[in-house]
């Protein structure tokens, strides 16, 4: 026996010998999570709309938009068509949709109407663009009404949406609800669609993509008469077959390609329609609620059959779609293309010639034909199978043909398809209440502390839907997290759930979870459980930074769709929160500066007072010194005078006696004695000191007069500084933003966990007073 190779030993990571293992794991999770969690709710903050007129600004920066009823959307659509027709009449020109102008977009090779913001997989480019009146010889919006048999898929992977249209095309009431108004002469068509619990209107022009280029676009040609160009147009650019994307089976019918174009417009481009599930498509067209049923988990087939029988009824409550399993190694199974979407257009229980009752289902492939033998069922009751007789063909009004339509038994359908998409429709009897909120999602999944509270006043059936925003409208900006929706229902005050809904990874319609439940009057708590996982998309801020220069026009379009989607009542407006925080910080900084200035002014006043006091004390000291000096000088003068008198008295004592008689005679006659030299000198000094004192007093008075003017200058300087506060603060903010421009990733390159889901709860009920409110967590 050969010796087995010894496994390479794994070198353990270096660990701290000082820290406790619990401290290490706690530090890891602290770093794992974002320090300031939140969600971007505005790609374009309010500051970017400063120069935009208020009436032209998008809804996301005005009043937060509320839920719109169908009638409001329909009225808006009618008004949009009316105004567009009036503009066409005034300019004598057909309508050109400036918001979705595929003609100039195509011929300038910008392809903003064709591709998304970050297009990696969609490379198809149609050959040309022309108006309906140029393409069709006798264009008609419908020929013999709407029909699922009209539908043919083109060069776009939107089978899910076409299958959804196939489910409802026979319902005149539903199709009329979608196709609101048109003016075929002006080339204007108005439609409404259901998006995130609201009906939205849109209008388009009648330019459509064609598969082939115009004659002579690839090479120089000589065609003076135009005969070759006319022949080229007739063979390659005329009728439904010439269209690049979805088309009607009739060569002159136009409703489907125009409806597809309108649906592409509201999503921003045609690429946004690639991939999806049939149930989601029916929701978008009808406002219904879709749920996925695994064919292997059906509890009661009879209940399902009773609902299937309504598929082709004009007033039916349900429509259905199908999807088989997917395999990367197998393209089809018994003719059914895997990973594809199909429509159930009829269900019937019929008795054959042997008196056997058979449950049959009529199914349609949106391709409208087979491809290399794939696309239609090859088993029992398929076209040309032995089960068909002349009588059965007549009973079921069926014709063989390569049209993508076939019949099969209910059991075969359940065996060959993995998922059934069941959509409940709502008429005027139903009332809907809804609320939206922002939910921060922990890395450890669990039931959220924020809950929805439903108040029921009349007993009856309730359809409850927990959904996230439809990310198809802004897919590239969806962010680095995928969210799966789940919830439970409890009577308020109880811990026992009475209903629940869960997301299945087999369900491609991951935007919602729903359940149907019979409720008695009372209050009920709906507690969401949203599970978040990292997706393959980069953070929103990275996409914005990259495409603000790489593809700014497309970013403007998709960013606006993002902002409008997040502009819902109840959803935390992060831009508003950030603006308020900035304003509060500004006010704090301003108040701090004012306080510092006041303190500085107070200190200056104290300093000036101290200086004045010091000066006064110095002046007093000078005066005291002068007085002292003066007294000392006077004392010395007196002493000198006394000594002089003493000396002169001794020397002339005798002379004085002799002259007494003469002195007395002189004094008596009014004559005064002359002052001595010492007396003259003392008087001059005194006079000089008095002059110096007057000079010093004058200087002090002048100084006091100058001080108020300095204070006034200081006040003016402070006022000027106050005016410059805002500019200084703005500069500080800009500097701080520039310095903190890097992502706060950890050492292993992971983004800090920061999952926030915008979630909404809709409740449909025949109780007209039903209501929903959000009860936020106290944390």
Euclidean distance between CA atoms 368 and 365, whole angstroms: 6
Please tell me which residue in 112, 170, 340, 566 is annotated as part of the active site: 340
Helix (H, G, I), strand (E, B) or coil at 480: coil
DSSP for 705-728? HHHHHHHHHHHHHHHHHHHTHHHH
CB 265 within 8 A of CB 99: yes
Contacts by 64-69 with C-beta closer than 8 Å and gap 24+? Answer: 64/567, 64/568, 64/569, 64/571, 64/573, 65/198, 65/564, 65/567, 65/568, 65/569, 66/569, 67/197, 67/198, 67/434, 67/569, 68/198, 68/199, 68/200, 69/199
Euclidean distance between CA atoms 52 and 50, whole angstroms: 6
Query: Is 113 assigned a catalytic role?
Result: no
Q: Where are the beta strands (DSSP E) in 93-170?
A: 128-131, 151-152
Q: Which positions ≥6 away from 186 have C-beta within 8 Å?
A: 84, 85, 88, 89, 94, 95
Phi then psi for residue 251, to 5 deg, are: -70, -15
Euclidean distance between CA atoms 64 and 567, whole angstroms: 6
CB 205 within 8 A of CB 96: yes
Return the C-alpha torsion angle 414, 416, 418, 420, nearest 10.
-50
Query: Is 186 assigned a catalytic role?
Result: no
Question: What Å distances lie between residue 563 and 148, 477, 568, 636, CA to CA?
Answer: 35, 11, 10, 99
Please tell me which residue in 159, 179, 248, 757 is annotated as part of the active site: 159
Give Rg (Cα) of the chain.
47
How is residue 586 written in tokens?
A: 């500004």
Euclidean distance between CA atoms 703 and 708, whole angstroms: 10
Euclidean distance between CA atoms 554 and 267, whole angstroms: 12
CB 129 within 8 A of CB 207: yes
Largest CA distance in the chain: 190
Euclidean distance between CA atoms 540 and 543, whole angstroms: 5
Say if strands 512-519 and 771-775 run parallel, antiparallel, or are unpaired. Answer: unpaired
Nearest to 273 by CA among 264, 283, 282, 261: 264
Euclidean distance between CA atoms 51 and 316, whole angstroms: 51
Nearest to 776 by CA among 438, 492, 522: 438
Please tell me which residue in 365, 509, 551, 754 is annotated as part of the active site: 365
Query: Is 340 assigned a catalytic role?
Result: yes
CB 486 within 8 A of CB 531: yes
- Tally of residues, the chain: 779
Euclidean distance between CA atoms 52 and 67, whole angstroms: 25
Nearest to 284 by CA among 276, 294, 296: 276
CB 68 within 8 A of CB 59: no
- Report, as residue numbers or ranges, the catalytic residues: 159, 340, 365
């Amino acid at each position: 026996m050969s010796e087995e190779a010894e496994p390479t030993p794994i070198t353990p990571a270096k660990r701290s010998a000082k820290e406790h293992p619990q401290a290490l794991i706690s530090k890891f999770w602290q770093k794992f999570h974002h320090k300031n969690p939140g969600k971007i709710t505005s790609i374009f903050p309010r500051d970017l709309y400063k120069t935009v007129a208020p009436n032209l600004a998008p809804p996301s920066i005005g009043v937060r938009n509320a839920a719109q009823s169908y009638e409001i959307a329909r009225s808006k659509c009618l008004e949009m068509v009316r105004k567009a027709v009036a503009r066409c009449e005034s300019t004598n020109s057909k309508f050109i949709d400036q918001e979705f102008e595929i003609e100039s977009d195509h011929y300038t090779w910008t392809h903003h109407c064709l591709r998304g913001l970050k297009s990696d997989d969609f490379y198809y480019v149609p050959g040309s663009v022309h108006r309906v009146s140029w393409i069709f010889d006798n264009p008609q919006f419908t020929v013999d009404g709407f029909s699922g048999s009209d539908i043919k898929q083109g060069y776009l992977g939107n089978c899910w949406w076409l299958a959804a249209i196939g489910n409802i095309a026979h319902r005149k009431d539903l199709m009329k609800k979608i196709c609101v108004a048109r003016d075929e002469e002006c080339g204007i068509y108005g439609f409404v669609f259901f998006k995130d619990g609201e009906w939205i209107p849109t209008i388009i022009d009648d330019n459509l993509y064609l598969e082939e280029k115009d004659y002579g676009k690839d090479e120089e040609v000589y065609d003076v008469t135009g005969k070759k160009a006319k022949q080229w147009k007739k063979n390659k650019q005329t009728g439904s077959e010439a269209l690049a994307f979805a088309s009607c089976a009739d060569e002159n019918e136009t409703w489907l390609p125009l409806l597809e174009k309108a649906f592409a417009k509201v999503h921003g481009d045609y690429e946004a329609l690639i991939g999806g599930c049939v149930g989601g498509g029916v929701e978008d067209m009808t406002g219904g609620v879709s749920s996925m049923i695994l064919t292997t988990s059906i509890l009661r087939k009879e209940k399902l059959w009773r609902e299937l029988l309504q598929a082709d009824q004009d007033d039916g409550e349900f429509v259905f779609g199908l999807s088989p399993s997917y395999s990367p190694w197998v393209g089809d199974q018994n003719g059914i293309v895997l990973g594809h979407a199909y429509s159930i257009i009829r269900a019937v229980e019929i008795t054959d010639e042997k008196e056997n009752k058979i449950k049959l289902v009529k199914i349609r492939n949106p391709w409208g034909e087979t491809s290399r033998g794939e696309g239609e069922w090859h088993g029992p009751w398929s076209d040309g199978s032995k089960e068909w007789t002349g009588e059965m063909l007549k009973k079921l009004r069926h014709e063989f043909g390569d049209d993508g339509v076939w019949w099969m038994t209910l059991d075969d359908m359940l065996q060959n398809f993995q998922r059934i998409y069941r959509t409940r429709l709502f008429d005027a009897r139903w009332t809907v209440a809804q609320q939206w909120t922002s939910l921060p999602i922990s890395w450890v999944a669990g039931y959220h502390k924020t809950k929805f509270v439903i108040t029921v006043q009349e007993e009856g059936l309730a359809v409850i839907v927990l959904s996230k925003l439809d990310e198809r409208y802004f897919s590239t900006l969806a962010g680095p997290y995928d969210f799966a929706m789940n919830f439970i229902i409890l009577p308020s005050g109880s811990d026992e759930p009475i209903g629940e809904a869960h997301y299945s990874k087999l369900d491609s319609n991951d935007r919602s979870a729903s359940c149907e439940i019979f409720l008695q009057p009372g209050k009920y708590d709906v507690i969401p459980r949203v599970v978040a996982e990292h997706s393959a998309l980069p953070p929103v801020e990275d996409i914005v930074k990259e495409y603000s220069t790489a593809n700014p026009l497309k970013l403007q379009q998709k960013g606006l769709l993002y902002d409008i989607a997040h502009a819902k009542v109840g959803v935390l407006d992060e831009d508003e929160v950030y603006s308020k925080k900035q304003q509060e910080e500004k006010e704090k900084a301003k108040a701090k500066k004012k306080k510092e200035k006041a303190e500085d002014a107070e200190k200056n006043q104290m300093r000036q007072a101290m200086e004045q006091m010091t000066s006064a004390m110095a002046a007093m000291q000078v005066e005291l010194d002068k007085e002292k000096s003066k007294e000392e000088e006077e004392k010395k003068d007196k002493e000198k005078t006394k000594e002089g008198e003493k000396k002169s008295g001794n020397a002339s004592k005798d002379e004085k006696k002799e002259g007494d008689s003469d002195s007395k005679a002189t004094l008596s006659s009014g004559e005064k004695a002359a002052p001595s030299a010492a007396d003259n000198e003392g008087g001059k000094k005194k006079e000089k000191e008095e002059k110096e004192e007057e000079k010093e007093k004058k200087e002090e008075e002048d100084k006091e007069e100058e001080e108020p003017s300095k204070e006034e200058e200081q006040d003016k300087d402070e006022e000027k500084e106050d005016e410059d506060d805002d500019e200084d603060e703005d500069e500080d903010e800009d500097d701080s933003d520039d310095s903190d421009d890097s992502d706060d990733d950890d050492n292993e390159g992971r983004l800090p966990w920061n999952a926030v889901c915008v979630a909404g709860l809709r409740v449909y009920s025949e109780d007209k007073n039903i209501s929903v409110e959000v009860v936020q967590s106290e944390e």
